[in-house]
Amino acid sequence: MKIGGFQKLSLIDYPGKVSCIVFTIGCNFRCPYCYVPQLVLPEQIKKLKEIPITEIFSFLQKNKGLNEAVVITGGEPTLQPDLPEFIRRVKAMGYLVALETNGTNFEMLKNLIEEKLVDYVEMDIKNKLDFEKYNLTVGSVLTEEMFENIKKSIKFLLKRNLPHEFRTTLVKEFHEIDDVIEIAKAIKGSEVYYLQNFKADVEIIGGKKLTPMDEETLKEIVKEVSNFIRVVRR
Ligand code: SF4
């Protein structure tokens, strides 16, 4: 596992639990609004100091009982071939595990769920399920295979009785109200859909200036989308 960040305490990243967060290195997307270019761009990854896995397990050993869950995010964690082995060790210590994913590695996601290695899945849906639109939103690196996997991951999560959430980061340059309604229709049946507005004050991958949704449009989106699914704004 290539780990590029470790946050020892979070009260918000695993619903109702005290958690810590492991950030894996590397991603197959290049979302122009990505907040973690240091975990995504090869030239920035080179400068990153990797965190030894022993450090994570030593923390988990010492904090058993205080900390209840481990949230694994990235980058894209499912690109790490030894992710299942890492999670097996974490679960053997009694921790709950949440996985944040972009859904492009359907096989790994399915296997992790079938092996009951994850307790909660948070999947990003970048845009409505239209190849061209999705491709633009992820930095023009989308392949047909990735796109099919994303659709399979959504369907699989909707079918399984596993706590999960779908979420979308809204950026004015990439999302229209109708796009978000289309996403909501595609995930209808899921318990909750989280919408978060792009923050303009952080370093992002593209370096281009992007714009958060204005409040009025956001309210309109929430109103429309609530016809299909319970929406929570973050
Ligand atoms: S926002 Fe996009 S590029 Fe950044 S880590 Fe997530 S999927 Fe990868």
38 lines ligand 1 (CB under 6 A): no
Residue 32: what pLDDT?
93
Q: Tell whether 227 is covered by a domain.
A: no
7 located within any domain: yes
Residue 218 maps to a domain: no
Q: Which helix (H) or strand (E) holds 115?
A: none
Ligand 1: which of 29, 71, 140 to mutate, most ligand atoms within 8 Å of CB?
A: 29
3-state class (DSSP) for residue 110:
helix
Instruction: Using the structure block, give the residue that is written with the tokens 């990439």.
Output: 174
Cα 34 to ligand 1 centre (Å): 5
> Could you tell which of 80, 102, 124, 210 is best to mutate to test the pocket of ligand 1, judged by most ligand atoms within 8 Å of the CB?
102
Per the domain annotation, does 148 fall within a domain?
yes
Q: Determine, yes or no, domain membership for 179.
A: no
Instruction: Say how many domains are in the chain.
Output: 1
CATH number at residue 135: 3.20.20.70
Q: Look at residue 215 and tell me if it is in a domain.
A: no
**Is any ligand 1 atom within 6 A of the Cβ of residue 60?**
no
How far does the centroid of ligand 1 lie from the alpha carbon of residue 126, in Å? 9
Question: Which two three-digit tokens encode residue 198?
Answer: 């792009």
**Angle at which helices 83-92 and 53-62 pack, to 10 degrees?**
20
Give me the phi and psi of 139, to 5 degrees please.
85, 25
In this structure, which residue's CA is closest to atom 5 in ligand 1? 75
Rounded distance from Cα 216 to ligand 1 centre (Å): 27
Query: Contact at 8 Å (CB) between 20 and 10?
Result: yes
Tens-level pLDDT at each residue, the chain (234 residues): 999 999 999 999 999 999 999 999 999 999 999 999 999 999 999 999 999 999 999 999 999 989 999 999 999 999 999 999 999 999 999 999 999 999 999 999 999 999 999 999 999 999 999 999 999 999 999 999 999 999 999 999 999 989 999 999 999 999 999 999 999 999 999 999 999 999 987 767 766 789 999 999 999 999 999 999 999 998
Going from the Cα of 140 to the center of ligand 1, the distance in angstroms, rounded, reads 13
For the chain, first and last CA: distance in Å?
Answer: 29
Return d(Cα 90, Cα 94) in angstroms, integer.
7
Whether 76 is in the pocket of ligand 1, judged by its Cβ within 6 Å, is yes
Let me know: does 153 contact 187? Beta carbons within 8 Å: no
CB of 102 closer than 6 A to ligand 1?
yes
Return the amino acid letter for 39: L
DSSP type of residue 113: H
- What integer pLDDT is reported at residue 157 of this predicted model? 97
CA of 62 to the centre of ligand 1 (A): 31
C-alpha 114: how far from its chain's center?
A: 19
The span from the CA of 165 to the CA of 187, in Å, is 10
Q: Where are the alpha helices (DSSP H) in the chain?
A: 42-45, 53-62, 83-92, 106-114, 131-137, 144-159, 177-186, 215-225
DSSP sequence for 117-151: --SEEEEE--S-S-HHHHHHHTTS---HHHHHHHH
Domain interval for residue 86? 3-169
CA of 61 to the centre of ligand 1 (A): 30
Position 136 scores a pLDDT of 97
Query: How far apart are alpha carbons 142 and 178 in whole angstroms?
Result: 22
Closest CA to 5 of 84, 71, 78, 63: 71
> What does the block give as tokens for 194?
């989280």
Position 128 in a domain: yes
